Structure 1
Amino acid sequence: MKQLIRPFLFILICLVWSACSNTKYLKPGQILYTGAEVEVNPDSAKKIDDQKGVKSVLESKTRPKPNKSILGLRPKLWIYNIAGEPKKPKGIRNWLRNKVGEPPVLLSQVNLQYNSDVLTSHLISQGYLQSVVTGDTVIKEKKGEAIYTANTGDRYKMASVRFPEDVDFLTSIIDQNKDKSVLETGKYYDLDAFKNERVRIDNDLKENGFFYFNPDYLLLQVDSTIGKSQVDVRVKVKDVAPDAALKPFTINKINVYPNYSLRRDSTLRKLQPLEYNGMSIYDDRNTFKPKVFDRLVFFQPDELYNRRDHNQSLNRMVNIGAFQDVRAEFVPIDSMKSNQLDLNIFLTPLRKNSLSFSVTGTSKSNNFVGSEVTLTQTTRNIFRGAEQLDVSVSGGFETQVSGVSKGLNSYSLTAEGKLTFPQFIVPFFKVNSTNAFIPKTIARLQYQLLQRGSLYGLNSFTGEFGYNWKENQYKEHNFNPISITYVRPTIDSLRQRDLFDSIPGLRSTLEKQFIIGSRYNFTYTNQMETQRKNNMFFYGSVETGGNLWGLFVDKNAAGERTIFNTPLTQFVRLEADFRDYYKVNRNVTWANRFNVGYGHAYGNSTSLPFVRQFFAGGSNDIRAFAARSLGPGTYRVDTARFADQAGDIKIMLNSELRFKLVSVLHGALFADAGNVWLRREDVGTPATPGNPGTPGRPGSGFRLKNALSELAVGAGAGLRVDASIFVVRLDVAFPIRKPWLAPGDRWVFDDINFGDKAWRRENIIYNIGIGYPF
């Protein structure tokens, strides 16, 4: 114990010395500023509401901020001081002083009167109309602190709120919507509420044609002389508001320039337009079909201007993915004599064809490293309806760098075509969407060849037709009514028996599979609202296979429903993924995930097809275990040879504390738990004359009462380089619970020994990834 205490005391003494030594670098007369303290009503026995919160907010508004400190120490200031004055504009000394360190904040930089005025203004904005703040300084040795005294007085409430009398169209709109006012009698005077009320009224007027109105044209008069710490509030339209702001405008002409550029501006304006559905389209090159603009422009001639149609039109034109520049221009015919606007829409298309090339590197926790090359050809507006065709070809290569199968090579070749229509295409029906987001119909074809070294190969063909649409900024739907997958394996017949015997479960991977079904996904997220304390994400999926087709497909002699001599896979698959992100403070976030999946096979099938099963382990899953190595259940696979275990049921929980270290470097501490199971235990196949049978996977079946006791648990830490546009991640994890051990021996805390090389080789898992794990 003494060996540990002595170094600790030495480090502590060094830190305290470094903190004290910062002042010795000050010049004569300089005082180090250590921060501000605000005393709220120190001479009054009566406390105001949330006095601690008010004190904290006031202190946060003082300037300048003192040097950053940790437990009273100022390491960045210390680094600045010990680096000294650099003799060269570059070098380690310059970097330490100007990039890592920070110069001293001096008491002479504090403007007491300015800060007092700022704090007084804030208190008045919160209803403390009689507040007064004064400031002073306290100096001890070479350190100084600012002390502010805030005498708030009573907080005023609104006794009444009056709106303009209903005498014309503008005041009638204000009167009709006054029930939605954020100003309520009995509530505290609040300057932010006054600002929000002006914005609310402006929005109501914009929805009713008042294009030139502005929140600044509204005046909120406050009378604080009525007594009893109350105010009367009167909402009034300023007398100096211009005439154009006080009348509603209607849309006159709608001019659309679908192939606009500054170089062709004068030429396009002289063209004879195509008149279509109330729009004048100036497009001598016939770039787009006119009906495209029915889905993009929500205005009609002679209707009142409204902000909703304005925003939805702009959003649709941006989100359709066909234009690199979008601009809407509202031009008054004569704002003094008329109340009409011409709408000019200028659209600059993206290039019709583009070619992209990408190279990615991979390093997986199952000891495979490799890379993939992808080439994508994009053709836009292929049928003049803003459609997009993406044709891509990719090839990847992996090799196993350690384990019994070291040198096992794997490669894949993929070809895909995807055609996206910016509208719903539904046979025999016309479906219109009126929100700001463009609905999409997507048709996709894909072929993939996966060759797992000398073990086996998989040829898969996929065809899908479906729809994608956003209900609003939070909710997104994907529905594929038709999804077809055909998987044809290839394997050396001479090795087949040996592989099945040595790798139980591989048989299900190498079965012919014909999946015809439907899939629906729903996503909800509010992560774009970065100001929220708590953000959530939810993903739910329902997939069926063979349900409808199973009613029409005849059975073969073996009683199986087949298509092209391949058994039709029949199943229902459900999955839910819930994530919560709680901001402890601006630099610390607590992230949690709960992921559960369930698959039920019936008819021809006894378990989910391999390509639809659930997997556990890996860099985005349970990080203390190699990818696809966990389960099913308590079954233990030889991960050094071949880790490709899957299940029909999955439960996973993740918890991660994320925190900023310095600049773009972030850290994390995490714990993961979970496993996969088969709905029915794999008992293998019995031996028969001429057939030796295959081994099963004992403990692979799911039993609800045993599920929690069969969860694998791991913990670890990570470093992340978060540069906003990309995140590079390194996580190091180790198991603390192994489900394949005997029930009383599954927690392995006592076995943890970071100093043991053999333990580290057996248990430490390194995960390199792009982006956060969830």
Structure 2
Amino acid sequence: MLLLAAAALAACNATKHLPSGAYLLTKNQVKIEKEPELPKEDQITKLELDKYIRQQPNKRFLGTNLPIWIYSQADTAKNNGWNRFKRRLGAAPVLLDSAQTALSAGGMKIYMDSKGFLDSEVIPTVDTADRKAQVTYHARQGEPFRIGTIRYDFRDRFVKAIILSDTANTLLHTGNIFDANVLDNERARITNFLKNQGYYNFSINNISYVADSTVGGRRIDLTVLVKQYMAGYDTNGEAVLDNNRIYRIRDINVFPDYNPTVATTDSLYKTRLDTVRYRGLNIIYDTKQHVRSEILRRTISLYPNALYSAQDVKRTYDNIMRLGYYKSASILFTEVADSTQKDNFISFVGTDSTGSDEADYTAEHYLSCEVLCTPALRQSYSVNLEGTTSADYFGVMAKVGYQNRNLLRGVELFEVNVRGGYEFMYAGSKYKSDAYEFGVSTSFSFPRLLTPFRVNRYNHALNPRTRIDLSYNTQKRPYYHRDLASAVWGYSWGKGRSTFALRPIDLTLVNMRYVQDSFLKNLVNPYLQNSYTSQLIAGLSGSYLYTNQQKNANRGSIALRFNFETNGNLLNALYRIGFPNKEKDEYYTLLGIRYAQYFRTDLSFVKNFWLGQKSALVYRFFGGFGYAYGNSAALPFERLFYCGGSNSMRGWAARTLGPGIDGRIASDYPSQLGNMRLEMNLEARFPVWGFLHGAVFCDVGNIWFAGQGTTPENQFQLRNFYKRVGLNTGIGARLDFNFFIFRLDWGIQLHDPNVNPGERWVIRNFSLKHTALSFGVGYPF
């Protein structure tokens, strides 16, 4: 401790070893003069201008300048291993550079000009004291310039009718702020539109603007100039211009097992290639075809003699990557040589904007397409580990998986997972204080809809998959022992950011081998007592997922997941028709086992706010509800909700919070369950040092019985539910190794609703028994 304190004191004097006349940069800040007349959405923020600051202060370690101090301990006259290690471990001091400060201010000015604030200004000021410097950038936006009239100048008149037909989607409008980003986006929009109409070589460089700011009144008149294609140079060195060309696809060559290393280094590679022609595709393979032709045809959205479309190319790429078999794909186009030697003209005859007759032409050429698909490892393994520990509880869960991505040459995904868990309670009885769980599951996933009727149209358009799951799980607790077996047949499909799933066959058999009588009596709640029975769960389930995380990797992102399931309704209807005279307290069975009848749904919403390049604030809301009816008096045990653990309320071990404000029952293995759950989580993530990242989090939530329960204490009541929630905070560490993240969280309870009134703010009497330590792989949400 004394050594740490001495190092911290030494680190505080970070300016001791600075060169004469130098200042250590300790802080940057941006101050923007308020423009009350500007709408909020038009005001430039500090975060936007921060990106243009070229010099950033040194990162601090635990509030000290320890990295600078470690760096300064290296002997500049020696370049041995020990001194190099100190330089790598530490960080060179960032010294104030007035030239960099001026460039930063200039960058901010250029940015504000590009946003239409041409009268903006940025003035930097520097405050120095004790050889430390703080830089403040004073920014003023001023009034913006706005777009006046908009006109078009078509040097390539053939594209005139095409572009003008899509002006309803233009981003340019009279009266909008003259924003250079919007102008560039409009160029990109027109370019993308034309690329979907066969204009393969058209680029944003074919579009430019003429801006006239002399009209006054802070208005700028725009002319959108659409240029011709430069076909080459004449004998005098002058550029030869012609209308932009339209392209069609001629040959489509698919390499489904392309290995770029072998293709470039193996001299015999081309001699081993063979070709299969299938419905417009030339499938070229090395020695043996590993993916069936019909799978490739269904995946590739390109066809011979079709107009080139960038949208079809992107759809093809997305389809290939969604198969889950390929790690990369490239789609390359080259102009067919003989199509450049002769022009195939297409013409447009019509009227121009003035009503006069006009006729235009352009050349039509052909492209050869190569689809290069590089498979990932056909077979792989995975390991997942998570656990939670508190003052009187320890639990660990591990899962080992095997995957085969192309089992039957149809890009089928075959998975086998083996899962095992162990839990131990320190308190309570000396006997029966541990528990275990073991399970095995397998699944087959096919890249198409497997149905009794033909659905080829949807197989091509919606990137569907059929998934079959089989699993078996056995759980042995001190007070009960049960087995679960399940079989699921489901479909998933999606387009863009949305994915849907429907499981029309969802069967689970719950066999309670043993339940201790005294355990059932101590439950008191008959709802929970009914959940510990053998049951057959038969019904359907589904889910919806929306996410934009990949497209907004460096910006804010959201993820929305909705799940539902309903069970027993069809069976119950058939039984009521066949056996209408059932006694009031009787229930129906199938093969001697009572079947469950209920519905259950849950919703998860995650929002990610990026605060910097590696810092983020992440928020999650979770809500779930289930209700039993008809042939069931309670939801099955495994369909009830619980709180706590490494991915939920991290101040509690799993299944130890709730329901409501029910007093916690003294038990070696508490299983606090309910048919309703509400939870909110907030987590700040930030870099600490290298691959070490930190987190500060807060969790609030609980479980209840809603509509079904026995006591007011465990019932959900809208008027006072907020008084009956658990609240915890905590800190965490994340070791980011790029290919996986190891997570360690220490949760600290603040408010525990399940202790005596007056003692629920447990933070007032802090104790380790009111904390929980959890670990896992990946982020909690």
TM-score (norm 2): 0.80
Partner of 2:358: none
Distance 1:34 1:326 in 2: 47
Q: For the Cα contact (< 8 Å) 1:449–1:458, is it kept in 2? A: yes
Q: CA deviation at 1:739?
A: 3.9
Residue pair 1:174, 1:201 contacting (<8 A) in 2 also = yes
Unaligned runs of 5+ in 1: 1-10, 683-697, 755-759
1:406-425 alpha-carbon deviations (Å, 9 max, x no partner) = 67343333232211110122
**1:660-679 mapped onto 2 (5 Å cutoff):** 660-663=687-690, 664-677=692-705, 679=707
Within a 5 Å distance, the mapping from 1:679-690 to structure 2 comes to 679-682=707-710
2:177 to 185, 188, 191: 188
- Secondary structure at the counterpart of residue 161 of structure 2: helix
Match of 1:497 among 517, 532, 540: 517
Q: Match of 1:620, SS? A: coil
Over aligned residues, Cα RMSD in angstroms? 4.2
Q: Deviations for 1:620-660, whole angstroms, at most 9, x for unmatched residues?
A: 22333332123444433435512123222333344445555
Question: 2 CA distance for matches of 1:712 and 1:134?
Answer: 50
Question: 1:55 & 1:355 partners in 2: Cα distance?
Answer: 46
Aligned-partner Cα distance in 1 for 2:718–2:429? 37
Q: Secondary structure at the match of 2:246?
A: coil
Evaluate the alpha carbon distance shift between residue 596 and residue 117 of structure 1 in structure 2; reply closer, same or farther with a 3 A threshold: closer
Q: C-alpha offsets along residues 359-385 of structure 1, whole Å, 9 cap, x if unaligned? A: 636345572334535252526141x33
The whole-number CA distance in structure 1 between the counterparts of 2:66 and 2:623 is 46
Which residue pairs with 2:89 in the alignment? 99
| 1:460 and 2:460 aligned | no
The code of the aligned residue for 1:550 comes to: N
List per-residue Cα deviations over 1:129-150 (Å, max 9, x = no partner).
Answer: 5778898988888566779898
- Counterpart for residue 524 of structure 1: 546
Contact 1:80–1:98 at 8 Å: present in 2 too? no
Are the counterparts in 1 of residues 70 and 89 from structure 2 also a CA contact under 8 Å? no
2:203 aligned residue = 214
- Summarize the alignment of residues 163-174 of structure 1 with structure 2, pairs less than 5 Å apart: 163-165=152-154, 168-174=157-163
Aligned twin of 1:757: none
What CA distance in whole angstroms lies between the structure 2 residues aligned with 1:116 and 1:600? 61
Query: Which protein has the bigger strand share?
Result: 2
Q: Secondary structure of 1:25's match?
A: coil
Contact in 2 for aligned 1:633/1:710 (Cα 8 Å): no
Render the CA deviation track for 1:482-534: whole Å, top value 9, x for unaligned.
10111112128xxx333333455674454111111111112223344547875
1:67/1:74 contact within 8 Å kept: no
The 3 A distance-change label for structure 1 pair 219 and 272 is same
Alignment pair present for 1:513 and 2:513: no
- Correspondence for 2:280 among 278, 281, 287: 278
1:27 paired to 2:39:
no
Residues 647 and 711 of structure 1: CA distance in aligned 2, closer, same or farther (over 3 Å): same
1:288 to 2:291 alignment: yes
Residue-by-residue CA offset, 1:277-332 (whole Å, 9 max, x unaligned): 23333457353333223321112222110111000011111211233442322221
In the alignment, is the contact (CA less than 8 A) between 1:132 and 1:151 conserved in 2?
A: yes
Instruction: Show the counterpart of 1:767.
Output: 774
Of 236-245 and 318-327, more deviation after overlay is shown by 236-245
Name the CA distance, whole Å, in 1 between partners of 2:760 and 2:156.
80
Structure 2 SS opposite 1:163: strand
1:451 matched to which residue of 2?
A: 476
* 1:202-248 alpha-carbon deviations (Å, 9 max, x no partner): 11110111111221232222233444443332222346734698111
**Which of 191, 205, 221 is residue 194 of structure 2 equivalent to?**
205
User: 1:4 matched to which residue of 2?
Assistant: none
Tell me, in whole angstroms, the C-alpha distance in 1 between the residues paired with 2:703 and 2:33.
58
User: Is the 2:658–2:753 contact (alpha carbons within 8 Å) kept by the matching residues of 1?
Assistant: no
1:736 equivalent in alignment to 2:748: no
C-alpha contact (below 8 Å) 1:249/1:341 kept by paired residues: yes
How many Å separate the matches in 1 of 2:387 and 2:243?
A: 60
Relative to structure 1, the CA distance from residue 119 to residue 374 in structure 2 (aligned partners, 3 Å threshold; closer, same or farther) is closer
Q: What displacement does 1:543 show?
A: 1.0
Q: How does 1:220-239 map to 2 (within 5 A)?
A: 220-238=209-227
Q: Which residue is 2:65 aligned to?
A: 75
Residue 33 to residue 48, structure 1, CA distance change in 2 (3 Å)? farther
Q: Is 2:373 the partner of 1:347?
A: yes
1:613 CA displacement: 1.2
Partner residue of 2:318? 315
Write the letter of the residue equivalent to 1:623: R
Residue identity matched to 1:551: A
How far has the Cα of 1:720 moved from its partner? 2.1
| 8 Å CA contact retained: 1:288, 1:385 | yes
CA contact (8 A) 2:229 2:242 kept: no
Q: Report the counterpart of residue 270 of structure 2 in structure 1.
A: 266
Give a deviation string over 1:135-172, Cα, whole Å, max 9, x none.
89888885667798989887543322222348643233
Indicate if the aligned counterparts of 2:71 and 2:90 stay in contact, CA closer than 8 A.
Answer: no
Say how many residue pairs are matched: 722
Secondary structure, counterpart of 1:622 in structure 2: coil
Once residues 769 and 11 of structure 2 are traced to their aligned partners in structure 1, the CA distance between those partners, rounded to angstroms, is 43
**Which residue identity does 2:520 align to in structure 1?**
F
Q: Which moved more, 1:418-427 or 1:460-469?
A: 418-427
The structure 1 residue matched to 2:499, chosen from 476, 483, 493, is 476
Question: Is the contact between residue 413 and residue 450 of structure 1 (CA under 8 Å) also seen in structure 2?
Answer: yes
What letter is aligned with 2:539?
G
Distance 1:606 1:132, change over 3 A: closer
Separation in 1, partners of 2:746, 2:595: 41
Checking the alignment, whether the CA contact within 8 Å between 2:386 and 2:398 is kept in structure 1 is yes
Candidates 250, 254, 257, aligned match of 2:252: 254
Q: 1:431 and 1:546, CA in 2 relative to 1: closer, same or farther beyond 3 A? A: farther
Q: Does structure 2 retain, via aligned residues, the 8 Å contact 1:526–1:536?
A: yes
Go from structure 1 to structure 2 and tell me whether the alpha carbon gap of 1:144 and 1:581 turns closer, same or farther (over 3 Å shift). Answer: closer
Distance in 1 of aligned mates of 2:703 and 2:125: 62
Distance 1:456 1:670 in 2: 34
- 2:574 maps to which of 535, 540, 552: 552
**How many Å apart are 1:722 and its aligned residue?**
4.8
Q: Matched residue of 2:306: which SS? A: coil
Cα 1:169–1:765 shift into 2, 3 Å: same
CA 376–140 in structure 1, closer or farther in 2 if over 3 Å, else same: closer
Kept after mapping to 2: 8 A contact 1:458/1:487: yes
1:460 and 1:148 map into 2 onto residues whose CA distance is: 64
Counterparts of 2:608 and 2:474, CA distance in 1:
39
User: In structure 2, which of residues 715, 720, 731 is the aligned counterpart of residue 718 of structure 1?
Assistant: 731
Kindly tell me: are residues 591 and 329 of structure 1, through their superposed partners in 2, closer, same or farther at Cα, counting changes over 3 Å? closer
Q: Check 1:700–1:34 CA distance in 2 against 1; reply closer, same or farther (3 A cut).
A: closer
> Paired residue for 2:416, among 391, 408, 414?
391
The 1-side partners of 2:615 and 2:475 are apart by 42
Counterpart residue number, 1:688: none
TM-score by length of 1: 0.81
* CA–CA separation in structure 1 for the residues paired with 2:319 and 2:299: 6
Q: Which residue number corresponds to residue 761 of structure 2?
A: 749
SS of the equivalent of 1:79 reads helix
Q: CA deviation at 1:41?
A: 11
Q: Distance in 2 between matches of 1:652 and 1:55?
A: 33
Structure 1 residue 584: deviation in Å?
6.0
Within 2, Cα distance between the matches of 1:189 and 1:656?
38
Paired with 1:149 and 1:636, the residues of 2 have a C-alpha distance of: 58
